[in-house]
Structure 1
Amino acid sequence: MSIIKKITYVLAIVLSVIYLIWRVVFTIPWHAGLLVLIFALLLVGSEIMSNLTAFILIFFRMLAFKNKLNLKIPDYDHTQPLPDVDIIIVTHNEDVELLRKTVNAATFIDYPDPHKVHIVISDDSNRPEVKALAAEYHAQYFGMDDNHDAKAGNINHTLQFLHSPLFAIFDTDMIPFSGFLKDTVPLFIENFKQLADDDQNVKPLGFVQTPQSFYNADIFQFNLFSEKIVPNEQDFFSRDVNVLNGSNDTALFTGSNALFLREVVDKVGGFPTDTLTEDFELGTEINMAGYISLATAQPQSSGITPIDLKGVIKQRTRWARGVIQSCRNLHIFINPKLGWKNRLILINTYLYWWSFARRIIYIIAPILYALFKIQVVMANFWILMIVWAPGYFLLHYVLKDTSDSIRNERWGEIQETFFAPYLFIPVILETLGVKAKKFKVTEKNVTFSIIDKLYILPYFSLWLVTLIAIVKFNYGKFGSEILIGSVITFWLLMHFINLSFCLFIAMGRPVYRKTERFSRQIDGDIWLGNSWQDMRTNDASEGGLSFRLSGDTRDLEHSQLLQGQTVKLRLPSHGQYVNLTGKIMRVSHYNADFAYSVQLTVPNGDDRNHYLQLIYNGFNDTLPLTQDTWISPFDELYTNVMIRLQKLERRVSRLTRF
């Protein structure tokens, strides 16, 4: 890192600290009414916490850069013993066909000795159909009745029957890639060797977390027509922040697609059952026991994320309450077993869930002044510009400069605003010890009802009040009045834009596709002219695929392939062919060639298993891993306005015909 950058980063923090000191000492309305004073204190407290989380993130990024901490995954060391691995797939009441995809993928995981990989289904519902599925794939099955400890109790029950030195955890919907063990086991083998050579200076490895990756567009990507523009909202934590945590040997366990050292899980008493987020708590207990944890950046599994508003809010509420519970159980502020880096990471995680309450406070503060002349910050405009503006804009520049290409701060504010109305109350209640009723597993199937439309009300109410505040505050102002009020107007406009995005997200978008489409380029064959000819797939889904002819085969296409025609295809997979049949539903141009879309007859048996593996083995490249920096949130806002206006115009046009 250059000297200029270091100076810039330090200056941003120093200026921000100076501003915060000024805010506390000179701007709080101590003589105001009690309610106004309380809100003013909440506002300055929110600013302090926001800056603190920014400082922590900058510090860890600078530390990682200084120490050149970059996790390198070694190859298998064939001079060392190869450990047995249990692949535990945890299921509650999920659809069996969804579970099939994960179990099937587990049978294709690469390992130097396949006999040392043991697939296990852990079923807390003791369902006969799940037991039958386990038998079909030659997997071990452990079911249980009357489980009162949710996912943690289910896993603990299964672990008592297993004895491999390593075990992996996968949720029902989290489909592993074939390279999962190659990205995780060698790290343990290397650690075993290092411990044997120098156990005094080497810490044992407790677990390796691979990213939470998803093969469908999340609610932000899908509802904002941004599937090609921004990555999944969870990528920022999984592929950036948690990798940064891992560079300090304290990656957080995120519930699935992680590989564990069995001995340390036994040592800490198994998966904790006193919290909704047993993953977060277990990972920290492992660190407290003296074991390190690492996080990789390359996805090695892929799951399905809910895109209905109710499902997403329900999921995040469970996470929020669970983390608050776990932080209380772990005593993160005073626990002497926590190292200072680990403590900072946990505090930052804890404060993240309070960011939604802070966001509500930030939204309300300028509205109070614009509509009711309630002043919660006592400051002269010019002094504010001198003390606040330099630190604010420099800090935001540093945050942008130190972050990677997954998500910028603007999108972070939009996502924070989206969750704020529904998460700030559960966080406060959980902190006060008011627990919610028992949570159920989040449904991954998209379900919409008339009640879902009501979820838009908090966003619309805040959006409307903010719009009124902008108009009322600026109406009739001229010259210096506009300048003096520009700070209030600035914040009102920022919140108005964020809330506009939230409205579009809450409005939803029709879901027409039954199964997700994956970008898959596979060289295969098609039966033409009484012989197999060359073809190459463009994309594939469970219900169909598209392909184009290749090589000399293109000379035959016009006379052989027509819409509505039934075709036979075969695709190579693990030393054999997957045999498929289907009907051509559409013929279109693909670059200079013709592309054919085929609706497949769902194969059975071995062909089905291999075809599922061809689809789900690897990240879905139709979705981005990085943000398109050429398209700003304002471009996205314009796109959403135009698309929805066009839809409204079409509806009106249809109504006026009759």
Structure 2
Amino acid sequence: MQTQQKTNITEQPAEPAQRHSVSAQMAERFARRRLWRRFIAAAYILLLIIYLLWRFTIINPDSPALSITYYVTECIAFILGLTAIFNSWHYNHRTPPPAPKGLSVDVFVPTYREPLDIIRRTVMAAKAIRYPHGTFLLDDGKRDEVKALAEELGVTYLRRPDSKHAKAGNINHALQHSKADFVMTFDADHIALPHALDVMLGFFDDENVVMVQTPQDYYNTDAFQYLNARRTGGLWHDQSAFYNIAEPCADASNAASCVGTGVVYRRSALDKIGGIPCETVTEDIHTSLKLHKAGYQTVFLNEPIAYGIAAADLGEYYKTRHRWGHGNLHALRHENILFCKGLTWRQRLHYLSLGLIYLEGWQQLLLFIIPVVALIWGLQPFTITVFNMLIVLSFPVLSYLLLQELGCGFSRYWANELFSMARWPVYLTSTAGLFGKKISFNSSSKNIQGKTDWRMMAPQLTVTIISLLAVFYGVIRLTATGFPSGPLGSYFYLWLTTRTLPAIDIYEVMPRGYTVELVAIAGFWALYNALRGIFFMRKVLHDAKNTHDFFRFRIPVPVLLNGRDKIYGRMTALSEDWAALHIYKSDAAPFTKGKDITLTAFMPAGALQLTLRVENITQENGCNTVAGSLIWTSAADRDQLANGLYSVDWHREFLHRSAYFLTPSDVLLSCLRFQPVSAHSKNDWQAILLQSGDDGFTDYGILIRRPDRRQSLIVFSALQQGQHYNIMAFTKDGVSSSAIKVAGEGHLHSLVEKGLDGAAPHRYIVTTVA
């Protein structure tokens, strides 16, 4: 494969691209209706205190155990609501100061048994970080091939004689061989971007700042922890609220926790707390907790500086969540979070909230059991009247509305329901961290290819089956007793048979045993739990089925088939080892399975010559869609393509940039204004080639058309304002030519200046020239 490096189109480039960073976007979202959110939070607390006091008065004396159990679940929900309010009170927006020159920095990449190709990508990116630094590969797997990789890439290789204390021990061993004043760590799968240190080191001008943390983000958006990323165009995953809300809000109280990757430490502070703590399996949160206890300042910068591998399947999801849960609770217990010295009350509450979230597992278990018990034994979970029922059923509705409003769009009802169904078993087992000893460090495999293991779904499958059987049993018992009903059942029966509205006593207590009301309410509850279980298992199976050895980026890349005739096409998916092409002429070339075709792919950093071995051919509307494996002759060629793919920010400028949903107030205001209810405007984007002087159409870009007819252009060469440029647009139907005029400069949505491939993105506002 050969690479043609690009040159700027103009000799007078525009000013550096304007930035509308992730943190700035979130700060704007928080600023909107902030007083409204705080008002409803205060109202929620007041109403829920009154509700829980009243709720205790309707404990059912005929079924005290079941009734008290239900009351406990509501108390847990109130506690979780309080933590949500506290963790979303004030967003702390950070603007990175310039990085001072001359700091000594070492970048650590600890590894255990991760696949070699994944380690390669991470180490190459770590070495390519722009700020001068040393790069260390810390090999706890003791593999000769990893040592050879370090020698090939020219980084320092460290191997210790044992693997005691896992990742924490590995880093502490590396600290003994490092002389740098600052240390940065990346997990073995996190591919850093070149500007990583540039946006973090400036915070250390404050001598009391000892840690700067950034969020974890991921490139494999088909992983289990994502929700329909390709279909809905969003980037929401189950940690989105933590990194976009909880961590920045904790940062406002100097309580942001470390997450172990994408973090820079001041070496002297680590030395003063005895290095990375080894007492728990979550050395990250334990480190930040000890730093805060020592009185140091930390910083959370809500800007992705690296992209890693999200848990591809349920097994990997459980492996990491159990380690995090057990380790977090163990660390809080070990440091005596309630009574230790050195923390402010706000810091204490923020750390305590990281432990309280695991109450959700027990709450979910009880909410599965309660309707089953009610259906099997005909017991009422509270003294049921029409009035009581209306008030009690409003409690979860208010809680969910509050959660979604406080989440500023990062919380969604059904997404929360699916992932709470996923989390509850591991949250249950994680609470052992409060009582047990340190567990063994179970490293994730870092595989992108997901697998299905039905044993992992046993808890949810059990809940689903038992809930359905309980409904069936309840209906049988109701039938056997002649369908007795209380006041509500009688009301609906008379209304259906007489078409009149009879009087109803809303305070009349429902009779004991099986009634139409009890079976209807408990049956609906149990069916809802079963439905959650079914959708959860469907997601597990679907996500594992749609993953591959290497993540397939759904990015449109123009291609030109090499040959005498110019035959253009468009890539629809691309990975390190595979590609799918849409060729615009069905009879343009004799595509044959097993045959190699050569083509030119126009990437941001320049044109790449690729060889594709055809494995699948389909025809539709006079076009060929060809898919197959990429054939490589050298690692350097493959690295060049990978650098373009893993420079994730450029294609997130147009492909599912957002990760948020509509809040209840957003929906209400849209309805009042008679506007479409949608979280994101659906932009129409096309891959284009822009004419570059005498070289023809060679410069890659993306033309974005918004519903308001405004257009913007993402390109990787500087353009001149007011100038006209010829373009070729690649759609699903064919290639079209037109001209555009640059009207001004647009905003990019990240702080990335250059990708791993050296390409620098620019965004311009453009108009079509007739």
Q: Which has the larger radius of gyration?
A: 2
Deviation readout 1:617-638 (Å, 9 max, x if unpaired): 21575767425769x9xxxxxx
Query: Secondary structure at 1:293's aligned position in 2?
Result: strand
1:177 is aligned, of 166, 182, 193, to 193
Amino acid across the alignment from 1:262: R
Amino acid across the alignment from 2:412: N
**1:84 match:** 104
**1:608 match:** 638
Aligned in 2, Cα 1:486/1:7: closer, same or farther, shift over 3 Å? farther
Q: Is the 2:216–2:308 contact (alpha carbons within 8 Å) kept by the matching residues of 1?
A: no
**1:10 match:** 42
Q: Is the 1:381–1:484 contact (alpha carbons within 8 Å) kept by the matching residues of 2?
A: no
**1:639 match:** none
**1:581 match:** 611
Q: In the TM superposition, what is the alpha-carbon distance from 1:428 to its structure 2 partner?
A: 4.1
Aligned in 2, Cα 1:616/1:603: closer, same or farther, shift over 3 Å? farther
Q: Is the 1:309–1:506 contact (alpha carbons within 8 Å) kept by the matching residues of 2?
A: yes
**1:644 match:** none
1:429 is aligned, of 411, 432, 436, to 432
Aligned in 2, Cα 1:485/1:2: closer, same or farther, shift over 3 Å? farther
Aligned in 2, Cα 1:602/1:240: closer, same or farther, shift over 3 Å? farther
Q: Does 1:152 align with 2:171?
A: no
- Residue correspondence of structure 1 range 498-647 to structure 2 within 5 A: 498-505=532-539, 507=541, 509-510=544-545, 513-521=548-556, 527-529=562-564, 537-546=571-580, 559=588, 562=591, 564=595, 566-569=597-600, 578-583=608-613, 597=627, 599-618=629-648, 621=652, 625-626=658-659
- Residue correspondence of structure 1 range 186-225 to structure 2 within 5 A: 186=202, 188=203, 191-192=204-205, 195=206, 203-219=208-224, 221=226
Q: 1-side partners of 2:277 and 2:153: how far apart?
A: 30
Q: In the TM superposition, what is the alpha-carbon distance from 1:507 to its structure 2 partner?
A: 4.7
- Residue correspondence of structure 1 range 80-159 to structure 2 within 5 A: 80-111=100-131, 116-159=132-175
- From the two aligned structures, give the one with the greater helix fraction: 1
* Root-mean-square deviation (Å): 3.6
Aligned in 2, Cα 1:234/1:616: closer, same or farther, shift over 3 Å? same
Q: 2-side partners of 1:184 and 1:344: how far apart?
A: 27
Q: In the TM superposition, what is the alpha-carbon distance from 1:120 to its structure 2 partner?
A: 1.1
Query: Secondary structure at 2:372's aligned position in 1?
Result: helix
Q: 1-side partners of 2:283 and 2:167: how far apart?
A: 8
Q: Is the 1:223–1:505 contact (alpha carbons within 8 Å) kept by the matching residues of 2?
A: no
Deviation readout 1:354-412 (Å, 9 max, x if unpaired): 2112210111122212211345x442434524643445433322221221333413321
Deviates more, 1:348-357 or 1:540-549: 540-549
**2:460 match:** 459
**2:54 match:** 22
Aligned in 2, Cα 1:178/1:143: closer, same or farther, shift over 3 Å? same
Amino acid across the alignment from 2:432: L
Amino acid across the alignment from 2:383: A
Amino acid across the alignment from 2:356: L
Q: In the TM superposition, what is the alpha-carbon distance from 1:83 to its structure 2 partner?
A: 2.2
Deviates more, 1:47-56 or 1:239-248: 239-248
Q: Is the 1:99–1:173 contact (alpha carbons within 8 Å) kept by the matching residues of 2?
A: yes
Q: Is the 1:314–1:442 contact (alpha carbons within 8 Å) kept by the matching residues of 2?
A: yes
Q: Structure 1 stretches of 5 or more lacking a match?
A: 633-658
Q: Is the 1:247–1:294 contact (alpha carbons within 8 Å) kept by the matching residues of 2?
A: no
Aligned in 2, Cα 1:458/1:598: closer, same or farther, shift over 3 Å? closer
Q: Is the 2:240–2:659 contact (alpha carbons within 8 Å) kept by the matching residues of 1?
A: no
Q: 1-side partners of 2:215 and 2:455: how far apart?
A: 37
**2:398 match:** 394
Q: Structure 2 stretches of 5 or more lacking a match?
A: 1-32, 491-514, 668-770
Aligned in 2, Cα 1:400/1:60: closer, same or farther, shift over 3 Å? same
Identity, % of aligned pairs? 20
Amino acid across the alignment from 1:496: A
Q: In the TM superposition, what is the alpha-carbon distance from 1:327 to its structure 2 partner?
A: 1.0
**2:306 match:** 301
Q: In the TM superposition, what is the alpha-carbon distance from 1:167 to its structure 2 partner?
A: 2.0
Q: Does 1:54 align with 2:81?
A: yes
Q: 1-side partners of 2:391 and 2:40: how far apart?
A: 17
Aligned in 2, Cα 1:592/1:559: closer, same or farther, shift over 3 Å? closer
Q: Is the 2:378–2:518 contact (alpha carbons within 8 Å) kept by the matching residues of 1?
A: no
**1:316 match:** 321
Q: 2-side partners of 1:4 and 1:607: how far apart?
A: 55
Query: Secondary structure at 1:83's aligned position in 2?
Result: coil
Aligned in 2, Cα 1:293/1:385: closer, same or farther, shift over 3 Å? farther
**1:495 match:** 529
Q: Is the 2:105–2:183 contact (alpha carbons within 8 Å) kept by the matching residues of 1?
A: yes
Q: Is the 2:209–2:296 contact (alpha carbons within 8 Å) kept by the matching residues of 1?
A: yes
Q: Is the 1:16–1:395 contact (alpha carbons within 8 Å) kept by the matching residues of 2?
A: no
Q: In the TM superposition, what is the alpha-carbon distance from 1:304 to its structure 2 partner?
A: 1.9
Deviation readout 1:134-176 (Å, 9 max, x if unpaired): 1111111111121211100000000121122322211111222
Q: In the TM superposition, what is the alpha-carbon distance from 1:244 to its structure 2 partner?
A: 2.9
Q: Is the 1:13–1:391 contact (alpha carbons within 8 Å) kept by the matching residues of 2?
A: no
Amino acid across the alignment from 1:432: F
Query: Secondary structure at 1:401's aligned position in 2?
Result: helix
Q: In the TM superposition, what is the alpha-carbon distance from 1:462 to its structure 2 partner?
A: 1.4
Q: 2-side partners of 1:153 and 1:401: how far apart?
A: 42
Q: TM-score, normalised by structure 2?
A: 0.69
Aligned in 2, Cα 1:473/1:224: closer, same or farther, shift over 3 Å? farther
Deviation readout 1:512-558 (Å, 9 max, x if unpaired): 6332111345577664439x998765542011334578xxxx8x996
Amino acid across the alignment from 2:174: T
**1:649 match:** none
Q: Is the 1:239–1:297 contact (alpha carbons within 8 Å) kept by the matching residues of 2?
A: yes
Amino acid across the alignment from 1:123: D
Aligned in 2, Cα 1:373/1:587: closer, same or farther, shift over 3 Å? closer
- Residue correspondence of structure 1 range 196-275 to structure 2 within 5 A: 203-219=208-224, 221=226, 231-275=236-280
Q: Is the 2:329–2:355 contact (alpha carbons within 8 Å) kept by the matching residues of 1?
A: yes
Deviates more, 1:492-501 or 1:151-160: 492-501
Q: In the TM superposition, what is the alpha-carbon distance from 1:232 to its structure 2 partner?
A: 2.5
Query: Secondary structure at 2:88's aligned position in 1?
Result: helix
Q: In the TM superposition, what is the alpha-carbon distance from 1:295 to its structure 2 partner?
A: 2.9
Q: In the TM superposition, what is the alpha-carbon distance from 1:117 to its structure 2 partner?
A: 2.1
**1:654 match:** none
Q: Does 1:444 align with 2:467?
A: no
Q: In the TM superposition, what is the alpha-carbon distance from 1:448 to its structure 2 partner?
A: 4.9
Q: Is the 1:105–1:617 contact (alpha carbons within 8 Å) kept by the matching residues of 2?
A: no
Query: Secondary structure at 2:90's aligned position in 1?
Result: helix
Q: 2-side partners of 1:511 and 1:536: how far apart?
A: 22
Aligned in 2, Cα 1:259/1:213: closer, same or farther, shift over 3 Å? farther
Amino acid across the alignment from 1:492: A
Aligned in 2, Cα 1:2/1:385: closer, same or farther, shift over 3 Å? farther
Aligned in 2, Cα 1:296/1:587: closer, same or farther, shift over 3 Å? farther
Query: Secondary structure at 1:513's aligned position in 2?
Result: coil
Amino acid across the alignment from 1:265: L
Aligned in 2, Cα 1:73/1:487: closer, same or farther, shift over 3 Å? farther
